[in-house]
Amino acid sequence: MNTVTTYSPHSPHSPHPPRPGQDLTVADAMEPCDYRIADDSTVEQANDVLRGAGVEYLLVRDHDGRCEGLVTRAGLHPFLARSRSAEPTAISATRHQRGPFTWPTMGLPLAALAMRIKHLAVWPVVDEDGYILGVLTADRATGLLAATPTA
């Protein structure tokens, strides 16, 4: 099991002490993601996993196991319609959400802002080597930040 150690950029001797909620990190809000698929898998295989698991997205990993991106049901739709009459399409050939990704030590307010700007509902969380640790959802980030008292 992977453990994540987080470090706060704020120290007790900082000239600007953190406001409540400002020391939350992505690690505080990230969730596990059990559904992953290799980037050389086909669109049809990804669709089968999505339907069978009842999930809306899959994390895509490369041949080394590093995060390559995220694919959604909606993103697969155009390729599924076209693939019935053509050769199978690999996930790596689709237009899907790709990096950069977030990391566990990133401040949660900054991550939530980046997700709003990029219009992301889900953002993969990776370690410093690019391996998948989990996901950050916009709903979870927003909910946790809203529940944190402000100064």
Angle formed by the axes of helices 73-83 and 43-53, nearest 10°: 130
Is 9 a member of any domain?
A: no
d(CA 125, CA 122): 10
User: For residue 65, is it within any domain?
Assistant: yes
Which H/E stretch holds residue 122?
strand 122-126
CATH number of domain containing 85: 3.10.580.10
Please, where are the H alpha helices in the chain? 26-29, 43-53, 73-83, 108-118, 138-147
Q: Note whether residue 114 is domain-resident.
A: yes
Q: Is residue 4 part of a domain?
A: no
- In-domain check, residue 1: no
13 part of a folded domain = no
Q: Write down the pTM of the prediction.
A: 0.77
For the chain, 151 residues long, give each residue's pLDDT as a single digit of tens. 333 333 333 333 333 344 454 589 999 999 998 899 999 999 999 999 999 999 999 999 999 999 999 998 888 888 887 645 567 888 888 877 888 899 999 999 999 999 999 999 999 999 999 999 999 999 999 999 998 876 5
- Residue 16: inside a domain: no
Domain-located, residue 20: no
DSSP output for 28-66: HH-B----EEETTSBHHHHHHHHHHHT-SEEEEE-TTSB
Residue-range definition of the domain harbouring residue 67: 26-147
